[in-house]
Amino acid sequence: MSISQIETLISKRTVLKTKVTKFRSFITKFDKNDPIGQINVTERLNDLSQIYSDYETIQSEIELINPEQEKDRDEFIDNYYMAKTEARLFLSNSLSIQSTLVDVFGLDSESLAWVPRPVASVILLFPTSDMHQVFSEKQINEIKEKGQTLSSDLYYVKQIVSNACGTVALIHSIANNCDKITISDGPFKKLLEESRNMTPLERGELLQKSADSILNAHRELANEGQTTANPNDEVNHHFVAFIHKDGYLYEMDGRKEFPINHGSTTPENLLEDAAKVCRQYMEREADNHNFTVMALTSTEN
pLDDT tens readout for residues 68-118: 777 777 777 776 666 666 666 555 555 543 567 788 889 999 999 999 999
Which pLDDT score, from 0 to 100, does residue 81 have? 66
Active-site residue numbers?
A: 165, 238
Cα–Cα dist 273/203, whole Å:
28
Whether the pLDDT of residue 228 is over 50: the answer is: no
Select, from the ranges 6-10, 40-44, 187-191, the one with the highest average predicted confidence (pLDDT): 6-10
- Bridge partners for 293 per DSSP: 124
pTM over 0.75: no
Question: What average pLDDT does this structure show over 270-283?
Answer: 97
Residue 127 φ/ψ, nearest 5 degrees:
-80, 135
- In this predicted structure, the answer to whether residue 185 has a pLDDT above a threshold of 90 is no
Distance CA 87, CA 101 (A): 9
Residue 187 has pLDDT above 70, yes or no: no
Report CA Rg, the chain.
20
pLDDT score recorded for residue 216: 44
Better-predicted residue by pLDDT, 96 or 271: 271
pLDDT digits 0-9 by tens, 11-53? 888 888 887 777 777 666 665 555 556 556 666 666 777 787 7
The predicted model gives 209-234 an average pLDDT of 42
